């Protein structure tokens, strides 16, 4: 897999994740320094947003825009993943009032590798490609967008439509819930 960085073909490392496949579990670092796992089965639908660097205008704009767009969804966990340093991300989240999403750091690049987003060469080496994943409560990737050119924004409307269609679907749950009524 490849993207372009200012028009230059740039390979991505890791395993590509496809729509319809199980989302891998990836360990990330929260802003309090603790570790957590994202992806896989979860109580709520997950929107995972890969952000190359919040220090750039496009990434910062995207984070703020997503923070506003996701406020309409009650059963959605929004996780913004970056490779920026912890202190900068803490200050950014507070300064920009990111309150509808959790910003986490891919310190070990586990997320980047498991989701096929690790930029492997060039000036952005070891950063994330820009991408979004919507993972349903069963842990299946229901929507994916990998942005082809690093300086372009994601398709916000398509992403929100995908979230809306997934969050509004009733989960079947277990088929043995009435076992006591026999």
51 contacts 80 by C-beta, under 8 angstroms: yes
* Chain segment 125-180, per-residue pLDDT in tens: 999 999 999 999 999 999 999 999 999 999 999 999 999 999 887 655 544 443 33
Superfamily name and number for 2-168: Glutaredoxin (3.40.30.10)
166 contacts 142 by C-beta, under 8 angstroms: yes
Question: Following DSSP, what letter does each residue of 104-156 receive, concatenated?
Answer: EE-TTSHHHHHTT-EE-SSTTTTSBPPEEEEE-TTSBEEEEEE-SBTTSPP-H
Note if the pTM is more than 0.85.
Answer: yes
Domain ranges of the chain: 2-168
Q: Which 3 state secondary structure label does DSSP give 83? A: coil
* Chain segment 51-90, per-residue pLDDT in tens: 999 999 999 999 999 999 999 999 999 999 999 999 999 9
82 contacts 113 by C-beta, under 8 angstroms: no
Instruction: Point out the residues that are catalytic.
Output: 59
């Amino acid at each position: 897999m490849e993207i372009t960085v200012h028009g230059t073909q740039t390979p991505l490392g890791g395993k590509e994740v496809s729509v319809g496949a199980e989302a891998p579990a990836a360990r990330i670092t929260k802003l309090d320094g603790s570790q957590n796992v994202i992806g896989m089965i979860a109580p709520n639908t997950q929107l995972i947003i890969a952000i190359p660097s919040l220090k750039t205008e496009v990434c910062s704009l995207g984070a703020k825009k997503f923070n506003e767009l996701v406020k309409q969804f009650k059963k959605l966990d929004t996780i913004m993943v970056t490779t920026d340093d912890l202190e900068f991300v803490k200050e950014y989240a507070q300064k920009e009032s990111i309150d509808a999403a959790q910003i986490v750091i891919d310190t070990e690049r586990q997320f980047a590798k498991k989701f096929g987003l690790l930029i492997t060469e060039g000036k952005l080496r070891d950063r994330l490609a820009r991408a979004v994943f919507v993972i349903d409560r069963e842990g299946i990737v229901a929507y994916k967008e990998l942005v082809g050119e690093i300086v372009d924004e994601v398709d916000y409307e398509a992403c929100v439509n995908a979230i809306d269609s997934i969050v509004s679907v009733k989960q079947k749950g277990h088929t043995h819930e009435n076992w006591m009524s026999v």
